[in-house]
Amino acid sequence: MTGPNPVDRGKTGSKIHVLTDRAGIPLSVAVSAANTNDSSALKPLVMAIPAIKSRRGPRRRKPAKLHGDKAYDQIELRRWVREQGIAVRIARKGIESSTKLGKHRWVIERSIAWLFGYHRLNIRYDRYANHFCAFLTLAATLTCYKKLRKAAT
């Protein structure tokens, strides 16, 4: 044997989680270990959504719908998202194909590409996760500023 097992799931590194609106503007971001399940990051991301200013009525704190891929297909998560007053649009394992989700998935992929445009995030140089998360949050803030400034003009 010449090295570690290539199918070993005990990977080192980090994983970026991004929750965006329909236009791809990042609403909340998080960092987790690469060997953790994606579904464990959903609750903190939803709880971290800031209040949304609207022209009429009170500020909204929740989106109307939540789209997710098959990694988030768990009964407990579905129930929790519904209790938050959010419609669940998560692909079901073994039932729905991944191709139907692609019309929503590209928005997230584009947002992550915007964040990786800041080269400090391409390779994680920081030893501490909170430093890396701070740079990720700064990148998300700059992305929001650029996209919202462009939309205002």
- Residue type, position 125, single letter: Y
Per-residue pLDDT of the chain (153 residues; tens, 9 = 90+): 556 655 555 567 788 888 888 888 888 998 888 888 888 888 999 898 877 666 777 767 778 888 887 888 889 999 999 998 888 888 787 776 666 666 777 888 888 888 888 877 777 777 788 888 888 889 999 998 988 888 777
Q: Which of 18, 38, 24 is nearest to 104 (CA)?
A: 24
E strand or H helix at 14, and its extent? Answer: strand 14-20
CATH class entry, domain 14-152: alpha beta
Alpha helix ranges (H) inside the chain? 42-47, 75-83, 98-116, 129-152
* 122 touches 13 (CB < 8 A): no
Domain ranges within the chain, ordered by starting residue: 14-152
Query: Quick one: CA torsion of 32, 38, 44, 46, rounded to 10 degrees?
Result: 140
Positive or negative torsion for Cα 99, 24, 152, 50: positive
